[in-house]
Structure 1
Amino acid sequence: MTGQGTGRAAGEIGSVAVEIRSVNHRGLRINLRMGDRLAALEGRLEQLIRGELNRGSLQVNVSFVPAAHNLAAPINSTLVLAYAQELHRLRESLMSDDPIDLAALLQLPGAIDTSDSGSADPETVWPLLRRAALAAIENLDQMRAVEGAAMVDAIRADCESIEQQRVRILELAPAVVEQYRERLEARVSQFLQGRGIDFGPLDLLREVQIFADRCDISEELTRLASHLRMFAETLVTGEAGGRKLDFIIQEMFRETNTIGSKSADARIAAAVVEIKCAIERMRELVQNIE
């Protein structure tokens, strides 16, 4: 399900911001972007997210801003002193009276240690990161809940449409056999006229029965109704989430395909097309249900 959530947490060591963007995905895929200073916490953060969310392709961005007192870069006093002593000897060798500029010394390589500037122990950052991540997940869930409610309404509307078309097919099916009997009787009568061939009512009945057995869709319609009921129940209970709904949809599509292949009636074929369209819409929507 699509959505976005943000969370922030602050403490003495600084502040952490977490942004989660989610797009549709059948499973759960997480892409973390945290920076090198928090890389040690990636596994722990991913485990936290997987414990809270089940589906979606997630882009998770994490930023850490150290507190002001952590930003001061330490001076390498030993190295600066060595630079000063070397410059003093050089000044004596050159018999120069130029003073040694402290600001210039601090610009020399290694004079200021920036390797840990703005860094913090990942273990001290984790409580802030956890709070920010849980806040972002909660924010994401709220946004997804709004979208989910609208999505469930759309799915239910499609279920109603399928049931309407199923009932229509159920009403049309008996007429298909009767129409076939009438067409067959007319064709046989026309063909046998003046040929002296005997084709009795039992022969006609036998052919109609074979046709009726071949195009009987009563079992498929019954199973389709059963799948619809199971789908509605699962949608309400949330049992097994979208995966179970996806399996039920596969069964619904299989029954609808069989109905379409057995039927030779244009009106039933049109109803089958409507059912397939509704099933495809539902298939796309249930990918977002957790």
Structure 2
Amino acid sequence: MLNNIMIGQYFPGDSFLHRMDARVKILLLLILLMEVFVFTSAPVYSALIVLTLALILFSGVPLRMVLRSLKPLWWIILFTFVLHLFSHPGKELCRVWQFAITQEGVAQGTLISVRLMLLIVLSTLLTFTTSPLKLTDALESLLSPFKKVGLPAHELAMMMTIALRFIPTLISETDKIMKAQQSRGADFVTGSVLSRLKNMVPILVPLFLSAFRRADDLAMAMEARCYRGGAGRTRMKEMKLARLDYISLVVFAVLSLGLGVGFYR
């Protein structure tokens, strides 16, 4: 279960997605997610699914690795589908006990489930193809216009990136602690809910201690390198839009226009 959590992991590669400017990728992701929630027609969603599969193919990231990001959240997707399946009014298809399954419920449940899957896959694809350092610089660059109203863009970008980067580290640490406790006879599967919650204490205590220790080590390392926030800091490699980024923006604009025309027809 823990090994299936893919958030924050980076998959090195040389695809056009890896070479794109991180700022462009974040902006395109936000627009794609807006389109996922705005559009509702089946042809448009079919096009979005094909586009997502094409991005996965061209990114060089194994499809199995991307699909693993859905595994920890499959029960949420299933619960959402079942909830809409029985609660949406419409033409009744069949009845299970006192609950009716409607044609509109099937359609709405499928729509919401596909939305969630696209949201997870597209967001995971961003972290797969963007290194944490580039993601930090991109977030800071995108948030920099808000510095005029007092928003600490650099600090926010740094905190988000550190949190994102620490997710796989803490997952790996949790897995090691669970295996160590299981080798000592701990049982996290059988028994009542209360007993299983009690058995989680030997995991949470060393996990919190490890997290605080890693945070302290990181703070000392940043202080040893004279880190004082974003004021006056420069980058070894300045972020610049290349030809690939402009082409990607144009292609994406054409595709979005096509989806919009297909939706309003």
- In terms of Rg, which structure is larger? 1
TM-score higher than 0.5: no
Shorter-chain TM band: under 0.3
Q: What TM-score, normalized to structure 2?
A: 0.22
Does 1 or 2 have the higher relative contact order (CA < 8 Å, sep 6+)? 2
Higher helix share: 2
